[in-house]
Structure 1
């Protein structure tokens, strides 16, 4: 990669990071606010929790932004009146309709119940203690569309009480990211830490598909802000600290 190309790739990676940093900063603010509000000694119930979550989730999904879903998912056993609980709001497709509350089955005895602690958006950040970007995946629960979900653990007194997070539709992300990728040299693809395609200037690389380039899986686990050469002439750069990587040159 020439000096000019390397600069263009670095600028594209930085541009991608800037788009996600806005969402990360917003969710970090929610996390800090919730942690402070939930730090009391009284037993926490859904009655106290839900209005706190609604105060930030409803405004977040009421405007035309990248965020289409937002809220908090409680750790099992944290709430005094619910073993499992999701306080999550979704933007309606019709502009004149208010956000709607996600209706989820929360009773483990119900045959339709699904244990969310087994899902990636919960499991990975619960293990790492850090924010995590899951997807793209088809979100059959909320949107029936390709989605990415960003989640961050909320910790109170050393105990993880749940996950705060947001959803963004991939087609909206593509509209934001593809112009940024236009400055990168040659084909440019954004992948997550599992080498799953978020978006690409190569129309043959569908969102949600795995980019199976030799050496890529290892490179995206610990991406560098400096271009790292892998197989097939590809170069990989970190998109800031988003956990995403930019793949160029192949």
Structure 2
């Protein structure tokens, strides 16, 4: 007889964190590189930023990777020669896996111009000064697919000059995270800080949908590594410092 080992909710949460932490650490490294290089630059220009960003963004989205986009988005007015500027590269699922620069419209008078400072992946880091995970959401700018975006502020001389980050398609994340969730003894759902489903072993809980169980909002905000039991019987616990929460049970 073969015995299938199962993991405790705490162990599953740790495994989830280990997967996401790798992406976080990579983005933190990009931030550190940008802050170091931009601090030494005589002037902030689009050319200066693009040259630095391309060195890490292109390798990050080339080949078989969880990431589908990566780069830097400048704060309006931070660059001397561009009021609005995105230095963002996209990967491709086609072979060969060649990255391409995202084409953007940076003229506010153009009818298709998009003010990215109103979007969550910009707005929250700009307000909190901290890293943020946005989504899943349908990314109409880059992929037209369910996406998770992780962004963190880049600071020069005490001022935020932009955010650096990456996009990951939800279906790619599911291929990695669902096997981890299935090692637990009970059904499991991974949600973001807004209680939006990232992935779940329950087919009724689709990525992007909201969990509205009694008490879940407060439990997710608390993000405790110790399971918090909800009135309905489910438990919620933090997945490290990823800002993601694991909901197990009912």
With structure 1 as the length reference, what TM-score do the two structures score?
0.96
Question: What residue number does 2:3 align with?
Answer: none
Q: Are 2:157 and 1:151 equivalent residues in the alignment?
A: no
Secondary structure, aligned partner of 1:106: coil
Gap regions ≥5 residues in structure 1 = 1-5
CA shift for structure 1 position 193: 0.2
Find the residue that maps to 1:174 and give its secondary structure.
Answer: helix
Q: Does 1:236 align with 2:236?
A: yes
Matches within 5 A, 1:1-250: 8-40=8-40, 42-250=42-250
Moved over 4 A (4+): none
Report SS of the residue matched to 1:117: helix
CA apart distance, 1:71: 0.1
* Secondary structure at the counterpart of residue 44 of structure 2: coil
Deviations 1:103-158 (A, max 9, x none): 11111111111110110000011111111000001111111111000000011111
Instruction: Indicate how the Cα distance of structure 1 residues 117 and 222 shifts in structure 2: closer, same or farther if over 3 A, else same.
Output: same
Q: Write the distance in 1 (CA, Å) between the matches of 2:26 and 2:249.
A: 33
Question: Matched residues in 1 for 2:145 and 2:113: separation?
Answer: 21
CA distance in 2, matches of 1:200, 1:21: 19
Q: What are the ranges of 5 or more consecutive residues in structure 2 without an aligned counterpart? A: 1-5
Change (3 A) 1:7 1:148: same
Q: Which stretch of the first structure deviates more once superposed, 92-101 or 54-63? A: 92-101
Which deviates more, 33-42 or 141-150?
33-42
Contact 1:185 1:248 (C-alpha < 8 Å) held by counterparts: no
CA distance in 1, matches of 2:66, 2:98: 17
Partners of 1:169 and 1:95 in 2: CA distance = 18
Q: Deviations over 1:44-75 (max 9, x none)?
A: 11111101000000000112111110000000
How far is the alpha carbon of 1:97 from its aligned partner? 4.8
Q: CA RMSD in A?
A: 1.4
- Contact kept, 8 Å, 1:9 with 1:183, in 2: the verdict is no
Instruction: Give SS of 1:219's match.
Output: helix
Deviations 1:16-44 (A, max 9, x none): 00000000000000000000000036221
Post-superposition CA distance 1:173-196 (Å, at most 9, x none): 001001111122321000000000
Q: Matches of 1:52 and 1:234 in 2, distance apart?
A: 46
Q: For the Cα contact (< 8 Å) 1:16–1:180, is it kept in 2?
A: yes
